[in-house]
Structures are given as C-alpha cells and as structure tokens.
Amino acid sequence: MSATEIDYYELLEVSRDADDKTIKSAYRRMAMRFHPDKNPGDAEAESRFKQCSEAYDVLKDPQKRAAYDRFGHAAFQQGMGGGGGHGGGGMGAEFGDIGDIFESIFGSAFGGGAGGGRQQARRGADLPFDMEISLEDAFKGRKTEITIEVSQPCEPCEGSGAEPGTGKRGCSMCNGHGKVRAQQGFFIVERTCPTCHGRGEVIEKPCRACGGEGRVDKPQTIEVDVPPGVDNGTRIRLAGKGEAGPFGAPPGDLYIFLHVKRHKVFEREGTTLLTRVPITFTTAALGGSIEIPGIDGEMIALDIPAGIQSGKQLRKRGAGMPVLQGRGRGDLVIEITVETPTRLSARQKEILRELQETETGDECPQSKGFFDRIKDAWSDLTD
C-alpha cells in the first residue's frame, strides 16, 4: 500500500487540526509500533513504518503541511508519467510555488538554480525562555541554572538518525543530487527531492531511539549569566543552546527574556531609582538629616532642608542602577512625604497650641497665598 494512497493524518491517527506536539507524539507512538526491529520479517509493518515517517516529515514542517492541506499528495509529485530523478522530464508536474520557476531561470540569485547541489540540513529552532529575577539581581547580576525540555542529539546514533552499525545510501529518487526536475510547458522546474528532502541520501535503517530523526527531547540544565544593569525585556542569547538540528545539523539558540519583579521600596525608570520617604512635620519645619538603605545595601545620608514640602524630590547622584554593559550608575530620587502626627500627648498638644497662638500667617506662604486668592475671588463675586 502506497503512502500516497493514504491520508497522512489518518496514518498518524490524528485530526487535521492537531498541533505540533500531538503530531510528534503520534509519530513516535506509531514508529515504535511498526519499527522493523519489533516486527522482524513483517513486510507490512516495515511498509507502514516508512509511510508514517513520510507523513511525519511533511506534517512537522509548517510550509509542507500547508501545501499538503491545500493540494494533498499532488503538492509533492515531481512528474506524472515521466522520470522522477534529477534528469527526469515528464509533463504535468505540480509546482510548489513560483520561486521554483525563478530558481530554474535565474539560478542562485533566487535561492538555488538548476544543477544545484545537496541542501544542508536545516539548523534547529531557536527557543525562548522567560526568567523572573529580583531588582537586587538586576543590580548585582547573578549566575543561575535553568532546566528546560529541549531536543538534543540522539546519543545511540550520534544524531545521524541511523541505527548504530548501519548507514545511509544515495537517494534513488534524485540519484543523490538532492533535487529533482520536471518539465512544465517551456520551463524545466527544479525542486527539492521529496524523498530525501534535499540531503541526497536516505537512512537504511532508522534509529530505534529517535525514530530516525537524530534527536530526542530530554531535560537539559543550562547556566545563565545575568549581567548587572538588566531591565524588563532584556534578552540574553545563548548560542547553540536551542533545539538540536535534525540529522546532526547545528542547533538553534536559546533566548532568555528577563522579567524584573516589583520591589517593595524602589521603583525603576531606566537607570534611575525612585522611592518615597515619610518625615515628621517637625523635621520638615526645622530641617535635619535622615538615613535610608540603598539598593546596594549601603546606608545613604540625606540632608533635609528646613521648610521642605510634601512632594519635594531630592536626588542622590550615582546611587541608582548600573548602566548595562557600561560604566557608572544612575541616580536615586527621593520624594519627601511630610507626615502629620495622629497621636499626641497632652504636653505635645500644649506646645502646638502655643505655636498656633504665635502664628502670623507668614510662616506658611502657600496657605496664605491660597486664602488671599479666595478672598479676592469672593470680593469679585460680591461687588
């Protein structure tokens, strides 16, 4: 039974809207079920194993899957009634897209050309990873380890996809060229070979551990070095730590996206830190000095000028966040909040009453100015 006569989704026993993870899991299940080593001498099982591998090769690739969903098996036919090899002719071949025609006419300027060699196996996919860190970690930097589930080269076959002790042979469809040709009217169209997918060779006996893909999913522990000064959205690239490429191809990269947790004391704007500090109304009136802890753990002394008002901001140069991959630090901005006492002793109330009796209004220019404006406005209304 030819794989072209059976729907790929039916072969893997999945629905047409199945996601990549479901398709991959289904393929592994079917590969283990029909693997020749588990069914010695069973030609039907061996044929089914090859059909499932062909189906998975198409459905795991977004572009091939889209072409298959639209055109079915015709999307991968290289000629009807003609030879399918590298030099084969034949009329009525199906096009993958208009880029195939441009490649045949204009050559490598459009990504290839007639007579082009084998394709290199595509590199593994890049992977994202979200990491949450504290503001202190963003200030000091840190080294940490993460564990992720990622495709890695299969150890038994060393990433080749072939069962240990076996090898590969030249592809009979394209005669080892990795491309096949078909004639369409006046054009000779060259496309990637659908059997070997451009590699020019096929695996004689797929590896039992990875199903012939050359890679398996397993946990991997990776060390991440977070530099000082990082911020929300900072991206760290770890080259070669992404998904392993198929059949021994280079791996992709791992991208760490950092998220800084909200701090209890400090807010952040770039390299500037902001905090709010309450002071007593007597300190605000008379002035004085206070100490607050900085993000680096060191105490910071602040001089409070007499008569300071709520909302006034004081700036401490060089007490903010470090510059990422640079020199120096930003500033720390302290917003003052004047706190009115809520509990007073009898003696304190007595002292405040004495103060109140001596007030002339000039002690608080903002209050005096406000009430003067109210008085003027009221006079305008009554005149």
Q: What end-to-end distance do the CA atoms of the chain give, in Å?
A: 105
Q: Is 207 annotated as a binding residue?
A: yes
Q: Is 364 annotated as a binding residue?
A: no
Q: Is 171 annotated as a binding residue?
A: yes
Q: Is 52 annotated as a binding residue?
A: no
Could you tell me which residues are annotated as the binding site for Zn(2+)?
154, 157, 171, 174, 193, 196, 207, 210
Could you tell me which residues are annotated as the binding site?
154, 157, 171, 174, 193, 196, 207, 210
